Amino acid sequence: MSWLKTLIAAVIGLFILVIGILFTVHNTEPVAIDLVFIQLPEMTLSLWLIIAFLLGGVSGVLISSMTILGLRTRLRAAQRKATASRQEVEKLRTTALKEQG
């Protein structure tokens, strides 16, 4: 089963590589990007698009990582609170049993 996953991953990777090469070959026009305050150097359209795609991917990973870290922090706080509540319930049970006996 492992070899099948490896084969599928290799085929998908090869497909993406071929699409990337075709994309680069068909978008060779030089383009300069003007961001109002700065003028970026002239590069091919395909390179600018790939850079934008990669920056978007990295930004998405960073933002989702920050969200995950926040959720993990909230989870740890909730787990500590639940543990404290269980300990308090156990203490109350043992106190109630001592008073009855």
Tens digits of residue pLDDT in 47-91: 888 899 899 999 999 999 999 999 999 999 999 999 999 999 988
Residue 77 tokens, joined: 């706080």
The contacts of residue 42 (CB under 8 Å, 6+ apart) are 30, 31, 32
Question: Is the overall model pTM greater than 0.75, yes or no?
Answer: no
Token pair belonging to 38: 């700065």
Q: Tell me, what's the pLDDT at 21?
A: 87
For 22, the 3-state DSSP assignment is: helix
Q: Show the domain range for 77.
A: 2-100
Give kind and range of the element (H or E) at residue 93. helix 45-100
Domain count, the chain: 1
